[in-house]
Amino acid sequence: MKKKTAGILAGVLAATLAGTGITIDQVFNIPNEDMVVTSAHSYTQCVKRDSSEVLDKNGVINLAVWNIYKQQKEGWAQALSQLTASNDLLLLQEASYTPELANFIHKHQLHADQVYAFAVLDNVAGVMTASGVSSAGSCAYRAMEPLLRLPKSALASYYPLSDGQVLTVLNVHGVNFTPTLDSYISQLNTLKRAMEQVNGPVIVAGDFNTWSAGRQNALDDFVTSLRLKSVRPNPDNRLRVFGRPLDHIYYRGLWLEKAEAPGTSASDHSMITATFKLQQ
């Protein structure tokens, strides 16, 4: 698999690593192509499966969205275990595929697809979508951070439903550190093109880094173009920057029953949970 070394803060990293015997080349690696990492460790932009398992249970879908902060805070495994027990679908951002996370997925018998956005010391980093049932397929998308030169990622996954439809789930981590809105809008436009031809119910969710009015306006335009509705959690303890929430859930073709954003100390972001029902 052809890779290139990320050129991030090279001088600072070189100084930090001096005397450790570790080179920058051994720390960050970025694939040349967008790729999905599957439970079978295959690497391809899109993966397709013959899956007949349905995601919903009697027409109900429980969903959790969480920036897991690379599993750096204590209690992440316990919090994720609770989410796994009560939700059919997990959308994680800033997931780092460490041995601990790999063991968690195996222990809970989850089917997980992850975007290979980049690797840090051989641990793949990127958004991950996981469920107790296998998706019918997933496609990876990346967008480069202009300043940090590390990609943000998005993953589109497809799940059969009991009413014969297919649910499209887009898990997004939005470009963050940008001097202008150009890179942010470019990422959204790429995802818009990928979603424009999608029929049936849709959920778009993740950490969109909407810390400014311009970013939120760009996301609102994206949401409007895809005819999506916004989820308003109650209680709402989402992480806010400059007074604006970063994490969101949008949907269409489903009934929203409830949504909550409880607080947590297991990440710098609070999770959002939502319950949807299939439309009759």
Residues 55 and 130 placed together within one structural domain of the fold: yes
Residues 15 and 39 placed together within one structural domain of the fold: no
pLDDT of residue 280: 78
**Token pair recorded at residue 147:** 């300043």
CATH classification at residue 180: 3.60.10.10
pLDDT of residue 15: 44
**What residues of the chain score a pLDDT lower than 70?**
1-26, 40
Q: 112: helix, coil or strand?
A: strand
Domain residues for the domain of 26 are 1-32
**Token pair recorded at residue 87:** 């939700």
Report how many domains make up the chain: 2
Residues 2 and 115 placed together within one structural domain of the fold: no
pLDDT of residue 52: 82
Percent of the residues in the chain that have a pLDDT greater than 90, as a whole number? 82
Q: How far apart are CA 229 and CA 277, in angstroms?
A: 15
Closest C-alpha among 245, 167, 239 to residue 213 = 245
Residues 220 and 254 placed together within one structural domain of the fold: yes
In angstroms, how far is CA 51 from the centroid of its own chain?
22
Closest C-alpha among 43, 47, 56, 52 to residue 2 = 43
Q: How far apart are CA 38 and CA 44, in angstroms?
A: 9
Residues 107 and 7 placed together within one structural domain of the fold: no
Residues 261 and 249 placed together within one structural domain of the fold: yes
Q: How many helices (DSSP H) and strands (DSSP E) are in the chain?
A: 5, 20
pLDDT of residue 103: 96
For residue 39, the number of C-alpha atoms closer than 13 Å in the C-beta half-sphere is 19
What's the CA angle centered on 145, arms 35 and 222, to 5 degrees? 80
Residues 40 and 28 placed together within one structural domain of the fold: no
The secondary element (H helix, E strand) that includes residue 230 is strand 229-230
Q: How far apart are CA 37 and CA 45, in angstroms?
A: 9
Residues 8 and 147 placed together within one structural domain of the fold: no
Residues 156 and 241 placed together within one structural domain of the fold: yes
**Token pair recorded at residue 203:** 């959920």
Residues 129 and 182 placed together within one structural domain of the fold: yes
β-pairing, 60-67 with 89-96? parallel
Residues 21 and 46 placed together within one structural domain of the fold: no
The overall pTM is greater than 0.85: yes
Residues 92 and 216 placed together within one structural domain of the fold: yes
**Token pair recorded at residue 226:** 């895809």
